[in-house]
Amino acid sequence: MANVAVIGAQWGDEGKGKVVDWLASRADIVVRFQGGHNAGHTLVVNGETYKLSLLPSGLARGKLGVIGNGVVIDPEALLAEIGRVRGQGLTVTPETLRIAENAALILPLHGALDRARESARGARKIGTTGRGIGPAYEDKVARRAIRVCDLAEPDTLSAKLDELLLHHNTLLAGLGAETFTKEALLARLLELAPQILPFAEPVWERLNEARQAGRRILFEGAQAVMLDNDHGTYPFVTSSNTVSATAASGTGLGPQAVGFVLGIAKAYCTRVGSGPFPTELTDDTGTLLGDRGHEFGTVTGRRRRCGWFDATLVRQAVKVGGVQGLALTKLDVLDGLPEIKVGVGYRIGGELFRRLPAAPGAQAAAEPVYETLEGWAESTRGARSWADLPAAAVKYVRRIEELVEAPVTLLSTSPERDDTIMVRDPFAD
């Protein structure tokens, strides 16, 4: 059986939650493989809305959920999220959720440092969520992270906190922020340990056994390729690698296990926070897209910046992200527009580029080159087959396929789970 990895092909918030939920009904296991609780997936299942940040979306479909070692976990946030969805009727137990024992933890000091740094940047802030994801990944790379497995060893935990506080309290004091005491942190972690440890295991072992048994695994990415720490619009990126290759390293499976890579992209483009956005619209059309698309971040609550579809950027994401097919979402938001523009390149200092350069100055100076397409007056909302779409909408989708050099595998025409046109089954061998 083929596995499927779902990643964002723009700057996040492309509608991965709905697509993962739609695919989860046909998977056996759904795995989160990177990011932290800075990600947000909104699912609507049987009229109930679930807002998930750490929990794999498959839990809403009764599937086994796995949080891989590539995720950084805030234990307080995780337990709060579990309590919230349990209150909505979902079953979350060690039988339905497993957590990698080697996943790194986010502690209160990480969030404090994140916010203090962002405040110190002033007008040059990056736009982080302030939830400590970046500092937690820093500690992981620096080999001082506290991991889930450490909660089972109080002596190990105590020794690691000494090193952690030596580093973080020095930074916090230098930034004029409040410092932390070992006693309070140790006591809280020991209090949380019996609530977290029953979920912990070497998930790489379970996933490898599941793969050998022919079970379908759905890898659920967070954020998107253009927020990848290597390939995104650095430094306005997240703190992990978001490309499909991370599905292997972030779970303990080999790269051959990743399977079909599905990239999610809106039929237009949005971005939350700071950073370059060449096709951004600050006019009435941008406002219209935001209003129609209900463009508010699940995690941040901030209004998303909106603009035309950037085919150059998505083509780049397709290449570096290993995307084999696109799921195009929110096509219905474009209904009624007399004409629709698509970004097909950039002019930077008079030179034409068919890619977004890595240098921040060049990214900020990029001026979009547009191709104008005919809009459509008819509604696409709720369409479930190509025959339900206006001819101009079909032409728009086909043109996007040509420009990004990837086929549209799924087409979403409303937030409802079943309002989806499937061109190819991503789980097909």
Orientation angle between helical segments 133-141 and 154-174, nearest 10 degrees: 120
Orientation angle between helical segments 75-87 and 182-196, nearest 10 degrees: 40
* DSSP secondary structure letter of residue 244: T
Give the 3-state secondary structure of residue 313: helix
User: 37, 41, 110, 231: which one is catalytic?
Assistant: 41
Q: Are 303 and 13 in contact (CB under 8 A)?
A: no
The yes-or-no answer on residue 41 being catalytic is yes
Cis peptide leading into residue 235 (ω within 30°): yes
Q: Give the DSSP per-residue string, 105-161.
A: BP-HHHHHHHHHHHHHHGGG-----SSSHHHHHHHHHTT---BGGGGG-HHHHHHHH
Cα–Cα dist 185/158, whole Å: 9
Cα–Cα dist 153/138, whole Å: 23
Indicate which residues carry an active-site annotation.
Answer: 13, 41
